[in-house]
Amino acid sequence: MSQAQDTFRNRVRAFAEKEIAPRAADIDCDNDFPADLWKKMGDAGLHGLTVSHEYGGSDQGYLAHTIAMEEISRASGAIGLSYAAHSNLCLDNLYRYANRSQRENYLPRLCGGEWVGALAMSEPGAGSDVIGSMSCHAEQIDDHWIANGTKTWITNGPDADVLIVYMRTAAIEAGSKSVTAFLVEKGMPGFHTEDRMDKLGMRGSNTGSLIFKDCLIPEENVLGEVNDGVSILMHGLDAERLVLAGGPVGLMQAALDLVLPFMHERKQFGQPIGNFELMQARLANMYTALQASRAYTYDVARRFDHSRALRKDTTGCLMFASEHAVQVALDAIQILGARGYMNESPAGRLLRDAKVYEIGGGTNEIRHILIGRELFAETDMQQDTEFIARHA
């Protein structure tokens, strides 16, 4: 870590400890995102970390973005998830693929926190097979598109002022050339959202459905090229998985923050429970899981900043961190004992929040398949190259 990155981490941590951590329990209980945090995060320069100064960002890159995600999630997993949906899924994708007019229209308000952003892929019948099963569709008529269908489980959906929405715009037989990305604004005719969902975890990260019924989307709100939405989606997933990996890393750190003082304070048989080897072993497992996840994620982020990260690694760091975050949260509950099982303890919230990272952004089952497929393809290509070299 450079001195500048350490300084940035400390600044984000100070913000999170002051503005987010004291409210985390209430956010979870009320299941509502405090609207004032969007502007406060904007004023703190936390939005637009991968966006150029020209449009209100700070152009610090994906490692900085991952660090911010980690520290915000350390204070509240729910705030971290909504932050990522705004600053990465919407803001970063919009910056990468929007034309100049779209950038000038949306980015300054999103970077400043005046507007909230979201991204919509999933549907009631389209999850892991989001392209093949997509039924939400749009048809071009004159200078508008008419959209119909439903998107669901959309983080920030109930609050968003602008959303990147993927819709089918050509016959399914066209495969990857059958989907278009649109910029949909709150208040467009024929578009409305449903009330936020009552989730197991990430409560306060407002999630809901988007309903399109003959929704009028202007032609200039196409993001990128017509029928080229899949390429935007796939490139965006790489950045999404990387930045999201900061979430479980932050939750693991929060679990350690919780149990370390307890192991000194809690005494049994005349001594702190931290003196017992079983407790030390469990603590060691928590610590090494955190450090391994953080090191892997940071390494991928550095390579991503230099366009050297591969899809298997952006996928791998989230898969690895999410699996370990669930176990670390369970370990924290075990160390805390009965106290950890009570809802007054944040330990249960950490477990509930960690679980979503094994599901969202592509399930861990899909991540295993993707990584294995890429490794197999790479080795096959390598063998072909070696064969050609030997027989040239």
The average confidence (pLDDT) of the chain is: 95
Tell me how far CA of residue 360 lies from CA of 64, 100, 225, 324, 329, in angstroms.
22, 31, 27, 15, 18
Please tell me the predicted confidence (pLDDT) of residue 389. 47
Angle (deg, nearest 10), helices 62-75 and 77-84: 150
Asked, for residue 263, whether it belongs to a domain, the answer is yes
Mean pLDDT in residue range 339-343: 96
Identify the band that residue 242 occupies on the pLDDT scale cut at 50, 70 and 90: very high
* Residue 305 burial (10 A CB sphere; 0-12, 13-18, 19+): middle
Note the pLDDT tens digit of each residue in 279-304: 999 999 999 999 999 999 999 999 99
Residues 130 and 111 in one domain: no
Reply yes or no on whether the pLDDT at 392 is more than 60: no
Please tell me the predicted confidence (pLDDT) of residue 30. 96
Instruction: Give the H or E element holding residue 256.
Output: helix 229-265
Quick one: DSSP state of residue 126?
A: B
Reply yes or no on whether the pLDDT at 32 is more than 70: yes
How many other C-beta atoms lie within 10 A of the C-beta of residue 19? 19
Asked, for residue 392, whether it belongs to a domain, the answer is no
Residues 368 and 236 in one domain: yes
Q: Which residues carry out catalysis?
A: 240
Residues 82 and 137 in one domain: no
Reply yes or no on whether the pLDDT at 64 is more than 50: yes
Asked, for residue 132, whether it belongs to a domain, the answer is yes
Residues 362 and 240 in one domain: yes
**Cβ–Cβ < 8 Å for 145, 183:** no
Identify the band that residue 12 occupies on the pLDDT scale cut at 50, 70 and 90: very high
Reply yes or no on whether the pLDDT at 188 is more than 90: yes
Residues 332 and 245 in one domain: yes
Last residue of a domain, one of 199, 228, 257: 228
Residues 90 and 75 in one domain: yes
Note the pLDDT tens digit of each residue in 125-142: 998 899 999 999 999 999
**Cβ–Cβ < 8 Å for 207, 60:** no
The Cα 166–Cα 121 span in angstroms is 6
The Cα 196–Cα 187 span in angstroms is 17
**Cα angle for residues 261, 298, 90 (degrees, 5° grid):** 100
Residues 55 and 132 in one domain: no
More confident residue, 204 or 383: 204
**Cβ–Cβ < 8 Å for 334, 340:** yes
Asked, for residue 266, whether it belongs to a domain, the answer is yes
Bridge partners of residue 148, in order along the sequence: 137
Residues 245 and 277 in one domain: yes
Residues 144 and 175 in one domain: yes
Tell me how far CA of residue 378 lies from CA of 128, 235, 369, 385, in angstroms.
23, 19, 14, 11
Please tell me the predicted confidence (pLDDT) of residue 383. 62
Reply yes or no on whether the pLDDT at 342 is more than 70: yes
**Cβ–Cβ < 8 Å for 258, 306:** no
Residues 74 and 136 in one domain: no
CATH number assigned to the domain comprising residue 29: 1.10.540.10
Three-state DSSP class for residue 124: coil
Residues 273 and 190 in one domain: no
Reply yes or no on whether the pLDDT at 380 is more than 90: no
Residues 134 and 222 in one domain: yes
Share of the chain above pLDDT 70, in %: 97
Last residue of a domain, one of 116, 149, 164: 116
CATH number assigned to the domain comprising residue 352: 1.20.140.10
Note the pLDDT tens digit of each residue in 148-163: 999 999 999 999 999 9
Identify the band that residue 2 occupies on the pLDDT scale cut at 50, 70 and 90: confident
Question: At a CB cut-off of 8 Å and minimum separation 6, what does 339 contact?
Answer: 262, 345
Q: Which amino acid is at 320?
A: F
The Cα 274–Cα 283 span in angstroms is 9
Reply yes or no on whether the pLDDT at 81 is more than 80: yes
Asked, for residue 13, whether it belongs to a domain, the answer is yes
Reply yes or no on whether the pLDDT at 384 is more than 50: yes
The domain total for the chain is 3
Asked, for residue 369, whether it belongs to a domain, the answer is yes
**Domain extent at residue 124:** 119-228
Residue spans of beta strands (DSSP E) within 47-116: none
Tell me how far CA of residue 57 lies from CA of 51, 164, 246, 367, in angstroms.
5, 19, 20, 31
Last residue of a domain, one of 116, 142, 169: 116
Nearest to 83 by CA among 29, 128, 45, 126: 45
Q: How far is CA 77 from the centre of its chain?
A: 11
Mean pLDDT in residue range 336-357: 97
Reply yes or no on whether the pLDDT at 306 is more than 90: yes
Q: Could you report how far apart the first and last alpha carbons of the chain are, in Å?
A: 45
At 114, phi and psi to the nearest 5? Answer: -70, -35
Share of the chain above pLDDT 90, in %: 90
Three-state DSSP class for residue 117: strand
Please tell me the predicted confidence (pLDDT) of residue 25. 98
CATH number assigned to the domain comprising residue 207: 2.40.110.10
Asked, for residue 86, whether it belongs to a domain, the answer is yes
Note the pLDDT tens digit of each residue in 84-124: 999 999 999 999 999 999 999 999 999 999 999 999 999 99
Please tell me the predicted confidence (pLDDT) of residue 391. 45
Reply yes or no on whether the pLDDT at 47 is more than 90: yes
